[in-house]
Amino acid sequence: MTQLEAAKRGEITEEMKFVAEREGISPEKLRKSIAKGHTVIFRNVRHDWVKPVAVGNVVRVKVNANIGTSRDIVDVKAEIEKAKVAVKYGADTIMDLSTGGDLDEIRKTIMHAVDVPIGTVPIYQAAEEMLAKGKAIIEMSEDDMWKAVEKHFRDGVDYTTIHVGVTKEVVEKMKRTKRVVGMVSRGGTFLAAWILHWGEENPFYRDYDYLLELAKEYDVVLSLGDGLRPGGLPDAGDELQIAELYTLGRLVRRAREAGVQTMVEGPGHVPIDQIAAQVKLAKVATDNAPFYVLGPIVTDIFPGYDHISAAIGGAIAALNGADFLCYVTPAEHLGLPDVEHVRQGVIAAKIAAHAVNLTRFEADFRKDYLMSLARGRLNWAEQFELSQDKERFIEIRNERPTKTEACSMCGDLCAIKIINDMLAGGKE
């Protein structure tokens, strides 16, 4: 029985109890949200060592970190280190997007290296296996695609991105729609190219009921991918993006009827003044399905700093209803991220998520309240303990020392020190 089926029957599972305790909410409140399809729990029935995580409208905004090899760089140890660093700095889930090396072994190794839920994009493996055979990606058979999906489900991945909204109809629209950037979703592009080559319907869309059967067997959360998300600001909110979104909304409702948990993926590159409207539209179109956004990235001209651009967009998206932020690293658009890029990407996304969570959860606001108290008292030891990145805290303190009780920015001119002394009856 899936989490959704149990919730609909009024049952509270062990996973629901675990999540409710971590979130500081009642199990019944969580159950009701899951029953409506507004919240999902990540935990494949075969991934029994994972700590379940919930994403949705009654729990905290979560952060995902993408890692994985490429065809140019296959360093499994580095990817394991990235996964561990991502979790250390607050990633709630990891997506293995590997496209180079022994993908089965890499996936299983990552799953055993961390205790957070793992997501994947199975079509990547189907495509890579074609290239490994010296064939073109478009030579994938439908059987190749389904085998990749089944393999990932059996291996225990907790959620998978399936670009089920890249339909033959929307691909035809692409021929008539001018885009500045075209398609930037790898999985979506693989399927679009396959459709254009063979003239056939997307197998995941045509045989969606079979996909639901597989997902239900393992209680995998289907992350309905945005294959037509905008890859540049000029394409945000265009006909292709919105057409796919409404297709995904229909598929969400079918999944709920089948007892399968789903969430929907969103943009992408979006001008800052459009983010609120796009998130709210997505929530309406998908009947409040959990919404998973990449960024959104709010400007295209700062390569090397896209983690900051994405954090700005992510905070606005979360404030307006997005539930799950996929981090973006400084290496976005430039190359495969290294460990430091992963750390910076996770921290940026966690700042965005926490900025919203502290407005909704008293326990989260309490952390910031205590930090304010410590700063007001110039209590550096307490500030260190409350800091989310203690290494960075002590690094800057040591690099810029001072002989005063304040910091080296102000020293004896510290506003806090002066007013505290005066209020205590001291002298300037």
Model confidence pLDDT, tens digit, residues 252-293: 999 999 999 999 999 999 999 999 999 999 999 999 999 999
Mean pLDDT value across residues 187-197: 98
Domain that holds residue 180: 58-360
Say if residue 269 carries a ligand binding annotation.
yes
| Residue 160 in domain | yes
* Residues 94 and 171 placed together within one structural domain of the fold: yes
Say if residue 292 carries a ligand binding annotation.
yes
**Torsion angle (degrees, nearest 10) of CA 229, 234, 236, 241:** -50
Say if residue 197 carries a ligand binding annotation.
no
* Residues 283 and 180 placed together within one structural domain of the fold: yes
* Residues 394 and 277 placed together within one structural domain of the fold: no
Say if residue 354 carries a ligand binding annotation.
no
Choice between 424 and 55, residue whose per-residue pLDDT is larger: 55
Say if residue 326 carries a ligand binding annotation.
no
Cα separation, 174 vs 167, in Å, equals: 11
* Residues 291 and 201 placed together within one structural domain of the fold: yes
| Residue 319 in domain | yes
> Cβ–Cβ contacts within 10 Å for residue 65, how many?
27
* Residues 253 and 399 placed together within one structural domain of the fold: no
Say if residue 95 carries a ligand binding annotation.
yes
Mean pLDDT value across residues 356-385: 97
Say if residue 379 carries a ligand binding annotation.
no
Helix (H, G, I), strand (E, B) or coil at 389: coil
Cα separation, 99 vs 148, in Å, equals: 13
Q: How confident is the model at residue 426 (pLDDT cuts 50, 70, 90)?
A: low
* Residues 408 and 340 placed together within one structural domain of the fold: no
Mean pLDDT value across residues 90-94: 98
Say if residue 333 carries a ligand binding annotation.
yes
Say if residue 124 carries a ligand binding annotation.
yes
* Residues 90 and 159 placed together within one structural domain of the fold: yes
* Residues 374 and 355 placed together within one structural domain of the fold: no
Say if residue 410 carries a ligand binding annotation.
yes
CATH number of 278's domain: 3.20.20.540
Residue 27: asked if its preceding bond is cis (omega within 30°), the reply is no
pLDDT at 428 over 50: no
* Residues 320 and 381 placed together within one structural domain of the fold: no
| Residue 162 in domain | yes
| Residue 266 in domain | yes
- The answer to whether the CB of 30 falls within 8 A of the CB of 39 is yes
For the chain, the average pLDDT equals 96
| Residue 48 in domain | no
* Residues 291 and 401 placed together within one structural domain of the fold: no
Q: How confident is the model at residue 170 (pLDDT cuts 50, 70, 90)?
A: very high
Say if residue 227 carries a ligand binding annotation.
yes
Say if residue 111 carries a ligand binding annotation.
no
For residue 346, the model assigns a pLDDT of: 98
Cα separation, 392 vs 390, in Å, equals: 5
* Residues 352 and 377 placed together within one structural domain of the fold: no
Choice between 211 and 178, residue whose per-residue pLDDT is larger: 211
Number of domains in the chain: 2
For residue 393, the model assigns a pLDDT of: 95
